[in-house]
Structure 1
Amino acid sequence: MPNWDGLDELELLAQAQDGDPEAFGELYNRYAGLIFRFLYAHLDDRLDAEDLTHEVFMKTWRSIAKYQQQGLPFSAFLFRVAKNCLVDFYRRLGQHAHDLSGAEQTDALALSDPAGEISNQMEHREMVRLLHSLKEDYRLVLTLRFFSGLTPEETAHVMHKSVGAVRVLQFRALGALRLLLEEEG
């Protein structure tokens, strides 16, 4: 098995575009966690987020040969695919993002620290509940910037907006979130 640690994203991409499944597997290893967290923040359902993460990487693998670097990291492309998969998911359900409440998680007791996991899940559910009460653009900009760690430039690429528009949107979204937190005391 090759050592991928020394290879940067562009070298891995070139190998994956040449059909190397191990290089694509390394891209998966590097980005699957970020994509999962982004999707989970929107869905609040671990199984749906896992399924959509798989779908994102399957779609990416099928189209990787056509991918062209546009001055942004590969992760920005992956998040755009993830956003599109999320939209398709909602469309299949016939619902909008803010209408979804997420399913209960039942696997917390199987973990080594059930109390800690339950506390984490409660905090996550509360944050998702607050995010779901925001406008869709606000929710998207906050999850891309803070859950997924994208730069304003990468977020702009995913959202099809200018960097300035993303910054304004982020400012407004944080203000709206702050108001919600103040209302809840």
Structure 2
Amino acid sequence: MPGTDSTDEELVDVYRHHGDLQALATLYNRYMDLVFGVCLKYLEDRETSKDAVMNIFEELVVKLKKHEVDNFRSWVYTVAKNHCLMYLRSNKQLKTVELPESLVQSAENPHLNGKLQQEEHFRLLEKCLQALAIDQQQAVRMFYLDEKSYKEISDSTGMDWNRVRSLIQNGRRNLKNCMDKNS
């Protein structure tokens, strides 16, 4: 019985010749993060991507028996990408929703207020952001606006990783409280 120290090729062979789902699970487990990353890239939704990861495993149960696979990593990447593209192309994702008349633009109900409300929301967000302590403000801006990781923030500011995490969490909570209080 193959173990976690078996090569990809060995696990593929065991699955193809013996139908050993444990071998396939061990193999897939090695690349699950890769598959999730591909799904997240294409589907842009964490929950949908998690579901896709499970669906792709079910596809592999059938497909791996039918295909000669020399490089499992690149093959599973392609399977994941194709799965996501097919998912996006399917009409199952297109849903029609009836909108209330109050939300539909007409001569009596122009949608100029929406843009004004959004601008007001951004002004309030900036005001609340400036109200944060300087180190919280810096960490929140770097994380959310500059899209830096905790490690990147830690490296560029010289702050401990846990301090950065704490600043971002507390800053986010303080921002939310300020926004709720002022809206």
After TM superposition, the score normalised by the length of structure 1 is: 0.47
Larger radius of gyration between Structure 1 and Structure 2 = 2
Q: Which has the higher contact order (CA 8 A, sep 6+)?
A: 1
